[in-house]
Structures are given as structure tokens and as C-alpha cells.
Structure 1
Amino acid sequence: MNYPQQKPRGFFRRFFGGIGSIITFCRNTLLNIFFIFFLILILVAIGSSAPKPLPEKFALRVAPSGVLVDQRTYMDTASLLLKDENEESETLVRDVVEAINRAADDNRIDSIVLELGGLRGGGITKMSEIGQALQTFKAKGKHILAVNDGYSQDQYFLASYADEIYLHKMGEVQLTGFGRYITYYKTALEKLGVNVHVFRSGKYKDYVEPFLRDNMSDESREHNAQWLNALWAQYTKTVETQRKLPEGSLNQLINNLDSKLVEVKGNSAQLALNEKLVDKLVSRNEIDNLLIEKFGKSDEGNYYNAVGVHSYLAEAHLHKLPKADQVGLIVASGTIQDGHQQEGSIGSENFVEILRSVEEDESVKALVIRIDSGGGSAFASEIIRAEIEAIRKRNIPIYISMGSVAASGGYWMATAGDEIWATPTTITGSIGVFGAFPTLENSLQKIGLNTDGVSTTELGGALSIDRPLAPKMNSVIQSGVDHTYQSFIELVADARKKDVAQIHEIAQGHVWTGVKAKEIGLVDNLGTLNDVIAAAANKADLKDYSVKLITQKLSPKEEFIRKLVGEDAKGFIPKSLFKPLADLSLVQQELSPLLKPLLALQKMTDPQGIYASCLECVSP
């Protein structure tokens, strides 16, 4: 057989073929380099995962960073790479509490140093849980110091638990009280030609007020003042008790701050010392020397001998084995939404999957659900509540622990528990329902756009955003909202063994503190998360048990990527490579206040457009 002779390759074919070969070679080489690079990262991560031996004697350094949370917000790979190595944006409350409680019984530790400069907030409820652990530590005859250049209101609350508070000579203690101010959009929306159609049940349900008014309604002002004053009373009582100050002294100081500053010629640090808010004014060198003198010098640099919370817990968990009997802990934090959501939000489908994993785990003898949510989708709340109720058929005690807030949809979920526990400063209640639907027909007319057409019924196309809302559809939606509200209060009445009329009287969207909620029968007991875990274990008659945190499972691919870009690996990756993404992130942060109303609407994913949610319902 004769084969056709190949034509000789021309110059251009040889030229471009050579370029292609070079590109292929470079691509394969780069892939191999990256593969080796990733292997090195894995080896480094594994090699450095073993905690270093801790000193024989040391101080526990408690330095919460960012915002105190019950559950960290999900971060994608890019966000993990952009994370500031020196400061976390969130601190888990239960990590801090566990470290302090362990330190109370650890003979190597006789002191805690509170370094609070990185704390950005988190609410009086979460800080009180840390405070309770600090009180337990002091009750063992141990000592607590607080050091900082200056103290914000939140930082000072935790500092007040210390035996000694040090303040920089040019610092200040910023006490102003609690306040709640809301931006109202009514006039702006009118100028833009946006019509927001609102449907609600409950005269205190003020989530939608910013779209309807330019100021706070009397009902909203009434109930917001109630819980704000109650929380501030708890703040002042705690600080005045810890610092042994006369009752009412904090309010007197704040209300006369201008004249008191004049008396000390504007020296805020001296005023704090005079008012016995702090014990000593120091420079940075003085406090560094004082700490080194008290605790000894660290082996690593010119620093006092201390171990941080993460390093301390790493050693504690190294040989920790789960017990045969376990109390399961599930954290429900964020807005309640339909479908699958990442951590930091509560997705109905994710949460159902987590709950069903408990049903399959024979080692879990009791379950605690920690709720830190102002609510969200009524439909998603019901899906989760029904699943919690289904688990109780296994005769597993299910106890609810309310965090800073467990209101509206958060309370809806809570009704399925055997017992509901809140902290004294928890924000709960807000038992009410609303619906919202914006239309843009006026906006479109302003730029010359009009909508017209035909439909087979009076409701055809009634929910189009470019048309006025049909009167009959207005009635349809309001009926759905009223029905959901009635279902809500009947659900609560059944769970709390009360008449529907009694629940309606304390519902209507009204917000209550944990103390008041216990008085009116919305919660059973007051206590911290650890108190609830102990109560659930006691109900299940568990003597020797461990706590099992039950979380949403990551895919193998995601776990692999997160390991690579975690704390051990990210130091190898030049941050400059991601500067454009970092700049974009900063722009998004600057724009976030302007986009707030749009972001709120974006989370409204309820299939029926009906929500049980509390506007910015967070504990100060």
C-alpha cells in the first residue's frame, strides 16, 4: 500500500508549532511546580499542627478579636487568603469560655491577662457569658488583670471583671449608654418612585417601618425604649457591682461628662482614675515591664510569659477523646432563609440535614440548639421547627439556648424544644409577621417606560414589579400574613400551654428581654450555654459525657482547599497577589451602608413572601 507523502511543514507552521510546544512545556512545568508547592504546604500544615509544649507556669492571655460570635461566618477561599494575619474578624465565645473554665482548674495558671484592644463588640449577652467564666476563675482565688490603651463601652464591660484595670496615660474609657437609631427611606423612595407594599400582623412589628415612614412610630419607640433601658440597667449594675461603685454612678458620670472633663482640664485618663473606673495610669513601657516582672519573660521576644486561648485549647484537645455518651450542640446563627445557605445564615435545607444526622447518631443522648437569630423566612422557620419536633420522637431531650437574640423566626424554631433557656439580656419575642413587595411603575414612568397588556384573570401578572399591585392581590397577601400570624400564636400557645388570647396580648411583634420573657412565660429558665448543656445532660441522666459540636459538612474538595489556605499555609502566599481583590473588598465595605436596604430585601427568599423577622434585632 502506498501512503501519501507528507508535505514539508512551512515556516509559519513550524514557527507557531514551536510556540505551542513552548506554551505546553511552560504550562506543564507550572502545574508541576504548583503541585509540589501544594505538597509542601500540606507537609508544613501537618508538621506544624502539633502544639508546642506549654511552660510550667504562665498567664492565660485572653485577647478576643473582632466581634464575639456563636458561629463563625463562612469564608470562601479568596476571603481566607485576604484575611489579616494579625487580627481575626470574629471570636467564638465558647472557645474563650472553655479556655477560662479550664484555666480555673489548671495549677500552671494563677492569672489571666485581658488584652481587649482588638475587641470590636458582640453584645452584652455574649460578654456576660465570658464574664461568668471570669467570675468562676476569680472564685478559685486567682487573679485577673486588664490592660489597654483605652476602653470602648464593650471592652470596659469585660475589663470590669478584672481585679486590676490599667489604662494608658493618654487613654480614655468611652461610656455613652445604649442607643438605637434607624435610617428611614420613605421620602427617598417617593423621590425615586418606588412603592413598597407592606402587610403585617402586630402593631409592634417595626421591621418594615423604614420603608413607610420618615421617623419612628410611637409603638416602636415604646418597646425599643423598654428593652434598651433594661439592657443598660444590666450593664450599669454589672459594672458598678464589679468595680464596687455607688449605684447610679455610671449614669451620673455620663450625664455630667462635659462638666467633669472641664474639672480635669480635658484629661480623660485622669477622669477615669478619679471616678475609680481604672486602677492605674501607665505608659506602654511601664505596663510591659510590669507584666514581665509579674509573670517572667517569654522565651520568644521581649514579652511576658503568657499563652493565648488558641494555643492553650490546642494542648487541651490534643489527647481529648469523646465519651460514649454525648450532648450534641447545634448552632443556628444568622438570618433564617429557605434552601441551602452557608454558615453565618440558617438555611432550612442545611439545618434539616444537620438535624437528621443527629437522628442517625446513637451516641447523642441529648441535644442543645443554640439560637442567635432575629428570624427571617416564616416558611423556613416552620420547616426547621417541624424537623426539631420530629427528633423528639426518639425521646431525646432537646433544649434551646438563646444567645444575644432569638426573636421572630428564631423564637418560632425555639417552640419545638422541651425547654427554652435565655440569658437575662437575650432579646426575644417579636412574635409577629409581615410581607413586603416593592413595585417600580412610577420609577419607570419617570424615564418614559410604561407597561400594558392582557391577562386571563384579574390576578394574572399581579406580582410584576413593573405594575401597580392589584387591589385583590393586596387582599390576598394580607390574608396570608394574617393566617401565618394566627398560626404563629397558636403554635406558641400550644408549646407554652397558654391560651391564644394570652399569647396575642404579649405578641404583636413586641420585643422582650430574657428576664421579662421568663416573667411572661415565653422562656422556662435563665442561664448560659453551659448551664443549658448541663441541664440537658441531667435530663438525659448523663453522668459522664462530652459535648459534640454538630456542623454542616464540607465537601472533600472544600476541606482540602481550606487546609491549604488556613493559618499554617497562608504565610507562604504573597499578599500582594491579592491586592486588587483586597481593594475591591474595601470598596464593598464603604458602600455597604448605602446598600443596606437592598441587602435586606435580597435576603427575603420566603416562597410566599411572608417573614417573621426582627429589624436589626441585636443586643447592644
Structure 2
Amino acid sequence: MVAFLRWAGSIVAGTLNGLIKFTLAILLILIVISLFAMARGDKMPGSMVLSIDLRKDVADSRPGKYSFGARAPTVLDIVLGLDAAERDPRVKGVFLRLGTGALSVAEAEEIGAALKRFRASGKFVIAHAQGFDGAGLGDYVTATAADQIWMQPKSSFAAAGVGGGEFFVRGLLDKIKAEPQIAKRSEYKSAADMFMESSMTKEDREQLQELMKSTYDAAVNTAAADRKISRAAMVAALDASPQFTEDAKAKKLIDQIGFDDDALGAALNKAGGDAQAITLSQFLGAKVASAYGSGPHIALVQASGEIVEGSTGGGPFDNSSVIAGDDMAHAIREATADKDVKAIILRVDSPGGSVAASDQILDAVKKAQAAGKPVVVSMGGVAASGGYYISLSANKIVAHPATITGSIGVLTGKVSIGNTLGLVGVKGELVGVGKNALMNSDLAPYTPEQWAALNAEADGIYADFTKKVAEGRKLPLAKVQEVARGRVWTGADAKERGLVDKLGGFWDAADVAKRLAGVPAGDRVRFKLYPRQKGFLETVSDWLNGDDDEVQAIENFKTLMTSPVISHTAHAVRQAPRAGIELRAANLPE
């Protein structure tokens, strides 16, 4: 046993030493690589076409974390990258690949606007689709921003409209004796209807129908204008889907028929000379920075994902895509404290989440405004519920026509499964001290008193939410109560109701921020990114300083090794007799 413990201890010590040496070696290698890279320049070709692949889901934005290797560009990466490419004389054009149905209409509006801005500088965009596979319109609307749309021969053009559906599991819950108890404020707050209802409510059907109609109108109007055909002709052409490539070309939905290499060849020929295709990720990688552009500083705070309490930790292997309350509030506070920052753009793409974290972020926004920093919200594809909550105090809110926003409401409750367990021979029992200590247990339903308390809590949060909207948007409370009720709106409909100030994308929000900051309209600005982009060395330093789960695991191991059982065992091993002569005193106090 003694020999085994000695052997195990040597293995643990050797492993930890090896990890430390490996980390130091990686650091040294990266330092050398960085020095060589700085000496050699960005190594981009003298003439290039940027290749952007949009055939997988595209995140709106991400926190400023170090990424190992090339990372998939976000919507904001594309927007800012195209701005940099517009000013880089080596970039002649863009080759776009899409068609899998990965893009929403709101994302199409943002990326399409960036492509048109790029084209306005005298450069070109060629889009290629092997097919437009989904019935949704996001990919096609994005493609219409290009100079030319290519499609592979005899492929499917399925883009047709906007639609969707919902599942309802109340019948299943009844069969397995599970009891859903969820309080919602108010009748349009439908996220939990799948548990509480057996079919779509009248209110939910109404809001979804209006949401889809508004999104469809925005998409069709944009596509018709870009393709230079009438709205009626565009509607008729889309109504003919699914159809083949050749049919789409006859209806002027696309321009050319060919494979991807044919379209890329056309792009390279148009660029001229010895132009090369370079991915946007490669281009961005050669321009890694914590700021973009030049001139007065405007902070760009990126908030994308579900809103949660606490911090993500930010370790080198942390790929979380959430808005952590501590991290986001800290980012806004950093931007507020930066004397060079003249205004803040808060980019929001979130379906909401924690009330406490949302309130924490809203407080940071209000304090930034109180410190004299104008805050402009630029909404991405979704800025609803908590996503709207963190936006409501902004000096101005800019949203796309197809942004999903609003959902000013509250959900709270649970599904109790105590009776369900009995169906499979499992029994759960509870023990608690305090009248409501077990109120949130999944094993038992709420008592009548607890259900009343839960509803009172929902009423209080809803009243606070609507009051803050009224104050932030400078609207009568009665009007807010009318447009709230948990209802989702498109950006276009939200603007009509005073929930949004302006329709547009990131660059429209930037223009508003410039005006509020007193920057002349024609002047460029420098966007400083928050949360701040961390390099590899800083990320590893944070990691080794105990900022994430990996270090927590090491701390847990340390706690285990210093526990009484392990300590006494180790002490016994140290005191055990060993072969040979030793100059060691035994049994000394420690």
C-alpha cells in the first residue's frame, strides 16, 4: 500500500510538472510566432477576393475571447470586416456562398446592408448557391444584395415565405401525471404554452400571424427592390416555389447558372490580374485588433445569447455563448470609465433570461448615461423580453424591420413530477425546515398559498418591467401596458408603437451614436470592442489565476489532497520506514 501511494504521488507530481512545462513551451512558441508575424506583415496577397461562407448558422456577435485557429465569422465580424475590406485597396470584391437556409431575415438585412455599403465603394459581390434549400427567405434576401446571383444547374429554389409551428406536450404531461404550474404575464407570453396548453391560443396565433406577415413584407420588399422587379412579380415568383434553377432564372430571381468554381472563376476574373481567393477569417486574422476604424472612439459592447447570472469565467476553452450579468455589466462599466470613449453602442441579440442579470446590465447602462456617455442600442435578429429589458433605457434604439423584439412580460413556475416517478416505481420524499423551503421542488406541486405568492411575484415583476419601459421610452404607462402583455413585435411594428426609434442596422446605429457624441457626420470613428479582446497570453494568465472551471477543478483537487483522510494517509507514508540509512527524525509535530 505504501509503495502504491508513493507511486501514485509521483505520477500526480509528474503530470502537474508536465502540464506546467507544456504550457510554458506553448507560450514561448507563440511569442516567437508572433514576433515573426510582426516582422513579416500580414502576408495577404496584393490582389484578392474575400470568400464568405454563410452555409452554417452565424452568431450575431461574441465576447472578446481568444480563439485557437480560425473562427467562424459572426454577423458583426462580417459587417466590420467588409468595412475594413472596403478601405483596403488589395480587396477587389467578395465571393459569397449561401443557400442552406441558415440566415434569418433580420440577419439578411444586416449582412445585405453591409454588402451594399461595400459595393457602393466601387467593389463587387458575386453570390453562389448550390440551391436555396429552405422555404425561408433569409438566404435569398442576403443574395439579392449581390451584383450577381449564381445557382448550380437543376438545383432546387425552395425559398417561398415565412412560416413555423409549435409543439404542445400538455397531453403527454397529463398522461404521465406531471403537473405544470406556470404563471405568465400576460396573455401573449406564450413561451410556456407548450406545457400549459393542448393547442395554440387565440392570442398566440394572432401574434405569430402578424409577426410572420411583417417579416414576409420586409423580405419581399427588399428582394424586389434589389432585383429591380415589382413587388407583385416577386410574390408571384416566390409563390411558384419549389422550382428549379432554370425556372428561377426565367423569373429573374437569379442571374447566372453554374457551379461554385464557375462563379469563383468569374469573381477572380472580374478582380483581374493574379487575384487570389482569401477567406474572411484569414483576412480578419491578419487584422486582429481590439478596435476597428480610425478617429474618435465609440465603444461597441457585444451582448449575444441568453442572459444568465454570474460570469462565464473566460478560460481558453470556454466557448459559452451567453450574456453573463457580471461580465456584461463590467464591460459597460469599463467603456463608461474610458475617457476616450465618446458614446456606447450596445449590440443586443438575445431572447432574454435572468431577471436579476438583466436588471444588473440595465443598471450599468443607466450609470453610463448618468456619466455623460450616450448609449445607442443596435438590435440584431432577436432582442426580446430580457433582451428588450437591457435596451429600454438607451438614448436611441435601432432595429431591423424583421428584428423580433418586445415580449414585455414575465414567466415563472415549474412542472412537478412527483406523481410521474411513481409510474416507474420511483418514490421521492421531501424534508424541509421553513414553511416554503421546498416551494421550488419538482417533486410536489405548489400549495394554494404558494401559487398565490408566485402570482403576486409575477405581478410585481411585470409592473416593474412596464414601469421601466414607460420611463425609459418616455411613454405613458397606459400605452406601454397596451403594447406589452408579453407580445412579440417585429422591429417595424415596434417602431410604430414607440418601442423602437429607428429602423436600420449597425451602421445606422453608428450614425446615431456619432451624432449624439458630437462627431461630424462625415468623420470616421474608431470602434473599441467590449468585452475587450484578450490575447492568448492574457487568456492563459486569467486561466492560471483561477478564473474558470478548469482552475476550479485544480482547486477541488487541492482541497481533496488537503482533506484529513488524505493528509493523514500522506503523513503515514512520509513516516513509513524506507530501505537504506536515513537522516530523518520521525513523528515530529507539523
Equivalent residue, structure 2, for 1:588: none
After alignment, is 195-204 or 276-285 more displaced? Answer: 276-285
Residue 134 in 1 paired to residue 115 in 2? yes
Three-state SS of the structure 2 residue aligned to 1:414 is coil
Cα gap change, 1:158/1:371 in structure 2, threshold over 3 Å: closer, same or farther?
Answer: same
Q: Deviations over 1:241-263 (max 9, x none)?
A: 211233233433344447xx5xx
Equivalent residue, structure 2, for 1:431: 408
| Alignment match of 2:131 (pick from 137, 144, 150) | 150
Residue 362 in 1 paired to residue 339 in 2? yes
Residue 269 in 1 paired to residue 240 in 2? no
Equivalent residue, structure 2, for 1:236: 220
Equivalent residue, structure 1, for 2:449: 472
One-letter amino acid of the structure 2 residue matched with residue 100 of structure 1: L
Alignment of 1:112-191 (within 5 A): 112-116=94-98, 121-152=102-133, 153-191=137-175
Q: Deviations over 1:413-435 (max 9, x none)?
A: 11221222222221111111121
Three-state SS of the structure 2 residue aligned to 1:121 is coil
State the percentage of identical aligned residues. Answer: 27
One-letter amino acid of the structure 1 residue matched with residue 369 of structure 2: R
Residue 329 in 1 paired to residue 319 in 2? no
Cα gap change, 1:554/1:316 in structure 2, threshold over 3 Å: closer, same or farther?
Answer: closer
Residue 205 in 1 paired to residue 196 in 2? no
Three-state SS of the structure 2 residue aligned to 1:183 is coil
Counterparts of 1:383 and 1:412, CA distance in 2: 11
Three-state SS of the structure 2 residue aligned to 1:406 is strand
Equivalent residue, structure 1, for 2:571: none
Cα gap change, 1:499/1:249 in structure 2, threshold over 3 Å: closer, same or farther?
Answer: same
Counterparts of 1:110 and 1:453, CA distance in 2: 69
Cα gap change, 1:325/1:453 in structure 2, threshold over 3 Å: closer, same or farther?
Answer: closer
How far the C-alpha of 1:70 sits from its partner, in A, is 2.5
Counterparts of 2:20 and 2:453, CA distance in 1: 59
Equivalent residue, structure 2, for 1:410: 387
Counterparts of 1:143 and 1:112, CA distance in 2: 6
One-letter amino acid of the structure 2 residue matched with residue 43 of structure 1: V
Cα gap change, 1:33/1:53 in structure 2, threshold over 3 Å: closer, same or farther?
Answer: closer
After alignment, is 340-349 or 46-55 more displaced? Answer: 46-55
Counterparts of 2:290 and 2:61, CA distance in 1: 24
Alpha-carbon contact 2:128-2:260 (below 8 Å) kept: no
How far the C-alpha of 1:57 sits from its partner, in A, is 3.5
Counterparts of 1:485 and 1:18, CA distance in 2: 61
One-letter amino acid of the structure 2 residue matched with residue 270 of structure 1: E
| Alignment match of 2:498 (pick from 521, 525, 547) | 521
Counterparts of 1:350 and 1:198, CA distance in 2: 30
One-letter amino acid of the structure 1 residue matched with residue 517 of structure 2: A
Counterparts of 2:11 and 2:449, CA distance in 1: 69
User: Unaligned stretches of 5+ in structure 2?
Assistant: 314-319, 544-590
Counterparts of 1:106 and 1:113, CA distance in 2: 16
How far the C-alpha of 1:139 sits from its partner, in A, is 3.1
How far the C-alpha of 1:525 sits from its partner, in A, is 1.8
Counterparts of 1:237 and 1:505, CA distance in 2: 29
Q: Deviations over 1:549-570 (max 9, x none)?
A: 110676987723999xxxxxxx
Counterparts of 2:64 and 2:90, CA distance in 1: 35
Q: Deviations over 1:561-593 (max 9, x none)?
A: 999xxxxxxxxxxxxxxxxxxxxxxxxxxxxxx
Residue 495 in 1 paired to residue 466 in 2? no
| Alignment match of 2:51 (pick from 52, 58, 61) | 61
Cα gap change, 1:554/1:465 in structure 2, threshold over 3 Å: closer, same or farther?
Answer: farther
Equivalent residue, structure 1, for 2:317: none
Equivalent residue, structure 1, for 2:354: 377
Q: Deviations over 1:512-558 (max 9, x none)?
A: 11111111111222222222122222212135641111106769877
Equivalent residue, structure 2, for 1:43: 32
Alpha-carbon contact 1:427-1:511 (below 8 Å) kept: yes
Alpha-carbon contact 1:329-1:547 (below 8 Å) kept: yes
Q: Deviations over 1:33-54 (max 9, x none)?
A: 7865664455345534755444
One-letter amino acid of the structure 2 residue matched with residue 503 of structure 1: V
Three-state SS of the structure 1 residue aligned to 2:94 is strand
Equivalent residue, structure 1, for 2:574: none
How far the C-alpha of 1:509 sits from its partner, in A, is 0.8
Q: Deviations over 1:246-288 (max 9, x none)?
A: 3233433344447xx5xxxxxx122122222222222456445
Q: Deviations over 1:28-75 (max 9, x none)?
A: 889867865664455345534755444444333333463222323799
Counterparts of 2:119 and 2:10, CA distance in 1: 71
Equivalent residue, structure 2, for 1:573: none
| Alignment match of 1:549 (pick from 519, 523, 529) | 529
Three-state SS of the structure 1 residue aligned to 2:156 is coil
Three-state SS of the structure 2 residue aligned to 1:277 is coil
Alpha-carbon contact 1:397-1:536 (below 8 Å) kept: yes
Equivalent residue, structure 1, for 2:75: 93
How far the C-alpha of 1:478 sits from its partner, in A, is 0.4
Alpha-carbon contact 1:51-1:314 (below 8 Å) kept: no
How far the C-alpha of 1:151 sits from its partner, in A, is 3.1
Counterparts of 1:552 and 1:355, CA distance in 2: 11
Alpha-carbon contact 2:467-2:477 (below 8 Å) kept: yes
Equivalent residue, structure 1, for 2:564: none
Alpha-carbon contact 1:67-1:91 (below 8 Å) kept: no
| Alignment match of 1:280 (pick from 252, 256, 273) | 256
Three-state SS of the structure 2 residue aligned to 1:134 is helix
Q: Deviations over 1:366-401 (max 9, x none)?
A: 111111111112222222212221222211111222
